[in-house]
Structure 1
Amino acid sequence: MTGLWWRGRGAIAKPHDYALKSFFADTTLRIGRTETRHLGPDVAVVRTRLHLTGQRAPDGSRAGDRQTILTAILRREGKSWLAVSAQNTEVSPGMETHLAEDDTTRPVDYRR
């Protein structure tokens, strides 16, 4: 959970280029469950679960697998759909929320 917020094509492309050439260079991203909700003929919300493997840790070792939920707002332009906004949220399996403690957050489950 990092809370990065980019605005504009260049601001989005630069960190993605860096990540894909470094710590995400050897990753595989698998698409899982996907839902699409059309808000009109030219606007849709797409939500999909992603499973990422092969990320490198800061020390160069292979990190554990991750799951996220990507939500995107799409707009039709001609025959194409363009993403106009997107949010990628980390999934912490079995957890309900995050708890802030000592300048950090951690996933927690209050049901236990």
Structure 2
Amino acid sequence: MALEVNRPEDAATAFADAWNRHDIDDFAALFSEDANFVNVVGMWWKNRADIEAAHRATHETMFRDSRLQGVVSPVVELSPGVASVHYRWTLTGASAPDGSPAGTREGILLLVVKKEQSGWRIKVAQNTDIVPGAIAPPSKTR
């Protein structure tokens, strides 16, 4: 099922939908051919084919039973046809490298999306785990 991405924020919800269906064809179709993706451990893929191959491999193993849920933050328009979208996520059902349950993880996915003929596509993705207790207190305004 091809996912429609008619608004920038749809890229994040389509990302989670394809992830949860473990449909890596639909997942990869969300990205521009020359997209860049940096995952939570710093692996950097520099095109759609590499992004697809990496996610296909992990969805056959550690993410096979995973579920991604989250909330889209307000979209920031960077220029006409280009926007950033933050997606605050929770991941459950993943496995550790030894096959044991990995437990619940939380993080923030930043997507930079661009309007293309086929709809909004992800040009840049940066995924970050939220480390419990590592969140700095809010800064004071002067």
- TM class by shorter chain equals 0.7 to 0.9
1:37–1:44 contact (8 Å) kept in structure 2: yes
User: How far did residue 94 of structure 1 move?
Assistant: 2.1
> Which residue of the partner structure matches residue 60 of structure 2?
21
User: How far did residue 96 of structure 1 move?
Assistant: 4.3
Q: Does 1:76 align with 2:115?
A: yes
SS in 1 for 2:88: strand
SS in 1 for 2:74: strand
1:30–1:50 contact (8 Å) kept in structure 2: yes
- Could you tell me how far apart the structure 2 residues matched to 1:10 and 1:79 are? 18
- Could you tell me how far apart the structure 1 residues matched to 2:123 and 2:56 are? 19
- Could you tell me how far apart the structure 1 residues matched to 2:45 and 2:83 are? 21
2:89–2:109 contact (8 Å) kept in structure 1: yes
- Could you tell me how far apart the structure 2 residues matched to 1:10 and 1:41 are? 27
Point out where structure 1 has 5 or more consecutive residues left out of the alignment. Answer: 98-112
Q: TM-score, structure 2 length as denominator?
A: 0.63
* 1:78 alignment partner AA: Q
Q: TM-score, structure 1 length as denominator?
A: 0.79
SS in 2 for 1:12: helix
SS in 2 for 1:35: coil
User: What is the aligned-residue RMSD (CA, Å)?
Assistant: 1.9
Question: Which has the greater radius of gyration?
Answer: 1
User: How far did residue 70 of structure 1 move?
Assistant: 0.3
* 1:68 alignment partner AA: G
Q: Does 1:61 align with 2:104?
A: no
Bigger proportion of residues as strand: 1
What is the aligned-residue identity percentage? 37
* 2:102 alignment partner AA: A
- Could you tell me how far apart the structure 2 residues matched to 1:96 and 1:27 are? 25
2:87–2:109 contact (8 Å) kept in structure 1: yes
Bigger proportion of residues as helix: 2
Point out where structure 2 has 5 or more consecutive residues left out of the alignment. Answer: 1-39, 137-142
